[in-house]
Amino acid sequence: MCKSPLHNLLTALPKCEHHVHLEGTLSPELLFELAAKNNIALPPVSSQASREVGADAVDPAFASPGALYARYAEFTSLDDFLHYYYIGFRVLLTASDFEALTYAYLRRAATGLSGPASAPRSSNVRHTEVFFDPQGHTPRGIPPSTIITGFHAAAARAERDFGITAQLIPCLLRHLPVSSAEETFTSLIDAGFFASGALAGLGLCSTELDRPPALYAPIFSRAAALGIRRTAHAGEEGPPGYVSAAVRELGVQRVDHGVRAAEEEGVMRGLREAGVLLTVCPLSNVALRGVHEVREVPVRVFLERGVKFSLNSDDPAYFGGYVQENYCAVEEAFGLSVGEWRTIARNAVEGSWCGEERKGVILREVEEVVREWVEREGGEL
Ligand code: HPA
Ligand SMILES: [Zn+2]
């Protein structure tokens, strides 16, 4: 629980999350549990065990969940994190593994609970749009259909149980050749996953430096021609110019992270004029050393310049917080007003891809929660 007087408003505020990687919700505990169940070898923790040809390098972080958590607290960069993130993929094999992973995340996002259901609710994500990385699974013999089946089974159950709605977005991986991204995108189209609504849009992630958005322009223009919504990670480690390139050359409706846009007024103006929403992830930025502390995330600058953003967890199992913890960290760092939180909550709903009817429902909930708070506690709107 954060120390802010607005804490109870922040837990009650209806939220939309647009930037969370399904594989980034894999906790160290579940990683070890699935490795044991699926008989998957993790990197050896001592040189005794690593003599085979092609074996992983020795890494004492895989000694226990506690050792992994300690290593996660010391990430030095995006690529340092991605090394661990992709190792985690290995334990996910079956549709039921993906269903378990998805349901645990949705329950936590909707209720704040990871333990017993009797505890009071302390988070209120009403709608979430979740990334996954097909190219991290197909080489292991796991087709996108396995992930999509598991995800939607969990989403249906979580909607019944908690009233949260969820959509799924594949991200193409920038550390692999562009030809692999093209093949992946083509196979997802051919399988009819976009046309059926099983996939809600297209994303782009992984290593950013030296992978300019323009490399992916042909794929994204194909997506545009097919009426597929688009988003891309940009301006996390990469320069502000990558943010404007994502908007101009990929035609994205959202930019994931985008925080380095604040370094250039012209880039901010472009975002404002295009009405693009940034999916900002404050605790992720601290964990991966983009900033030293949340106070350096340009939240205030974006609010003052009218650049829209939502607040998100990115990879909550790796970065020490879900959406709720990100909201609290921002409030502790900036002390925003009730009116500013209302703007953030409304922009998050409006930047969602869930359809006008659902957006209308959540917007009304936002207004009700804010109105009740102001009537009870006072405060500026
Ligand atoms: O923050 C991120 N950036 C890029 N790629 C990613 N894949 C998972 N999380 C991230
Ligand atoms: Zn991300």
21 is in an annotated binding site: yes
Nearest CA residue ID for atom 3, ligand 1? 206
Query: Domain ranges in the chain?
Result: 7-26+95-371, 30-85
314 is in an annotated binding site: yes
* Paired strand residues for 232: 255
Strand (E) positions, the chain?
15-21, 125-132, 165-173, 203-205, 231-234, 254-257, 277-280, 309-311
Q: How far is the CA of 371 from the centre of ligand 2 (A)?
A: 33
Do residues 89 and 102 lie in contact, with contact meaning Cβ atoms separated by under 8 Å?
no
Ligand 1 site residues (CB inside 6 A) read 21, 24, 78, 85, 205-206, 233, 236, 284, 314-315
Q: Is the pLDDT of residue 47 over 90?
A: no
Which of 25, 72, 77, 85 maximizes ligand 1 atoms within 8 Å of its Cβ, making it the mutation to test the pocket?
A: 85
What pLDDT, in 10s, does the model give residues 312-343? 999 999 999 999 999 999 999 999 999 999 99
pLDDT at residue 378, as a whole number: 80
pLDDT at residue 49, as a whole number: 60
What pLDDT, in 10s, does the model give residues 146-163? 999 999 999 999 999 999
ipTM of the complex: 0.96
Do residues 348 and 319 lie in contact, with contact meaning Cβ atoms separated by under 8 Å?
no
Which of 72, 75, 82 maximizes ligand 1 atoms within 8 Å of its Cβ, making it the mutation to test the pocket?
A: 82
pLDDT at residue 118, as a whole number: 63
Active-site residue, 236 included:
yes
Question: CATH number of 7-26+95-371: 3.20.20.140, 3.40.605.10, 3.90.650.10, 3.60.150.10?
Answer: 3.20.20.140
Nearest CA residue ID for atom 7, ligand 1? 206
7 is in an annotated binding site: no
DSSP-derived 3-state class of residue 251: coil
